[in-house]
Structures are given as structure tokens and as C-alpha cells.
Structure 1
């Protein structure tokens, strides 16, 4: 059996497994609508895509957005559709959905760290939010100390007046 350090994308695989289990168990009750299954299925798909495409940033960025917005969607769904029956299956699935809400911020932070590892820099989100990058160098502007050589009017053979047409 391979060691844990030899397995690629361990964090993403654990995040996938945790979300898959919580989504499956929370969907067992009748209280949750199909919207819960819909946005969690999108998250599961994005996590699989990010595991498959190791060098791409887009699936992880989308997974961060979907996971972050799912916190709000989960809270709204729990407030509007919390089960009123005392069936054990309904109470258990709603309790798992509540636990899933508490797991989401942790997995979002881990996804952000994974995105930073893929991009090779720290503070990916701070660079996006601030609107500028620390390594940007404007090569269009010339240095203040650099001068453009001027052609003198008395230099033989150079000048617009003596230029030949092509």
C-alpha cells in the first residue's frame, strides 16, 4: 500500500470524500429539496475535475465559489425546510446537513490553500482582491535615467531629409 505522502492530491480527495458522504447522508430525508442535491452535485463534479486536472486553476476556483455560496444556500434551506416530523431519518439527515454547514468553511480554506499551492504563490485571494500583483513590472514605460540617442543634423548620411524611399 502506498504511503500517504506518495498519493497525489490527498487534500482534494479527502475534501471530495467528506462532501460526498455528507451530501449523501443529508439527502436521505424528505425535508431537503432537489436544490440541495443540485448544488452539491456541482461541487462534487468540480472536485472530481480538480483532482483530474492537476495543473488547472479553474476547477478549484469554481469549487471555492460554489462551496462558499453553498453555506448561504444551506442555511436558507435549513431555515425554510427544517423537518417538523419526529422521524429518526428526517432528524438524522437534517443534523448531517447542519454538520455539513460547519464543515464547509474548513474545506473552503483547504481549497484556497490548494489553489495557492497550484499557483506557486501565497496570498492568491489577496492579490485578486487588492487588484494588483507584487511582481508586476511595467515594461512599456522607459526608465527615467535612460535617454534616447538623438541624431544630430550635421551627422552625414542620417536624417529624414536624406533618406531614400524604398
Structure 2
């Protein structure tokens, strides 16, 4: 099994990220030390990953998953430091730490997937160009193909143009 080939295969990267984080999140939730916020933002992350798997050409799904993944790193850090279990639950804390460590690597894989789908994480393009238009699109004016009659103010010039 070539891990490098799997990582460079489109559509497989998201499945790898989803499987790894799913396994780590489930094991991290086995203890009772984590507040419900941990479950909430991890469910949002998993839903955005499933959306990314379902919508194979959507860059918005990948950007949403990456934003949740990025912010979840800091949420995990605050949660682990604040709610470290005083009694038992060391198993779940270990997996919560592994989940936090895996987040930067999953962010790299999400970035590769986003680039393969034709998107980017650059926020400057979104701000400087209207309507999130990253590339100019060709517009064909189908109404402009009909010839327009000449406009005139006098009725005599219209009649004389007909003969």
C-alpha cells in the first residue's frame, strides 16, 4: 500500500481525513470530561467533510471544512487545557490530543483537495472582486444579436426610410 499515492489521489484525501478524525473523535468522546461544545464543533466538522465528499466539485464545502478544522485546533487546545479530567478518562484525553495534532495535517490535505478542485484559500480575491468572481466569464448577449431599427423623431423620416 503506497500512502503517498493515496494522499495524492483526488477524492480519497477527504475520505482519509474523515476516517481518521471520526476514529479519533469517537475515542475522545468515550470519557465524560469533555463539554458538549466538543461534540458540537466536531459534528459540524464531520458534516462539512461529508458535504465535501458528496459535492465533488464544490470549493465551498472544502473551504467550510477547512475553516472549521482550523478553528477547531484552537478550540481543542482550550478545551484540553481547561477540562483535563481529574478522575479517569485519560484514554479519551489521549485521543483528543491526537485529534488536535492531526488537525494541521488534515488542513494540508484539505488544501491539496481545494487546489485540485480549482479553489484557493486566498481571501484577497473575494474582497477585491465583486460577487466572488475569481475568473472572468464570457457572456454572450443573446438579445444583442437582433438588429435594432433606427430611431427617429419624425414620422416622415421613418416612411422615407422604408421606400
Q: Using CA pairs below 8 Å that are at least 6 residues apart, which structure has the higher relative contact order?
A: 2
| Counterpart residue number, 2:44 | 42
How many residues are aligned here? 130
User: In structure 2, what is the Cα distance between the partners aligned to 1:102 and 1:17?
Assistant: 15
> Normalising by structure 2, what TM-score?
0.71
- Paired with 1:28 and 1:35, the residues of 2 have a C-alpha distance of 15
Give the match's secondary structure for 2:114. Answer: helix
Higher helix share: 2
Q: Distance in 1 between matches of 2:67 and 2:12?
A: 21
Instruction: String of CA shifts for 1:17-50, please: whole Å, max 9, x gaps.
Output: 0010011000001111111111001110110111
Instruction: Provide structure 2 residue ranges, at least 5 long, that are not aligned to the other structure.
Output: 1-5, 137-150, 155-163
Q: Residue in 1 aligned with 2:121?
A: 125
- Write out per-residue CA displacement over residues 132-162 of structure 1, whole angstroms, 9 at most, x where no aligned residue: 68x867xxxxxxxxxxxxxxxxxxxxxxxxx
Partner of 2:17: 15
State how far apart, in whole Å, the 1-side matches of 2:95 and 2:111 are.
Answer: 24
Could you tell me which residue of structure 1 aligns to residue 142 of structure 2?
none
Deviating above 4 A after TM superposition, structure 1's stretches of 4 or more consecutive aligned residues are 130-133
Q: Summarize deviations over 1:106-143 as a string: whole Å, max 9, x none.
A: 10111011011101x6xx224x346668x867xxxxxx
| Cα RMSD for the two superposed structures | 2.5
SS in structure 2 opposite 1:125? coil
Give the TM-score taking structure 1 as reference length. Answer: 0.70
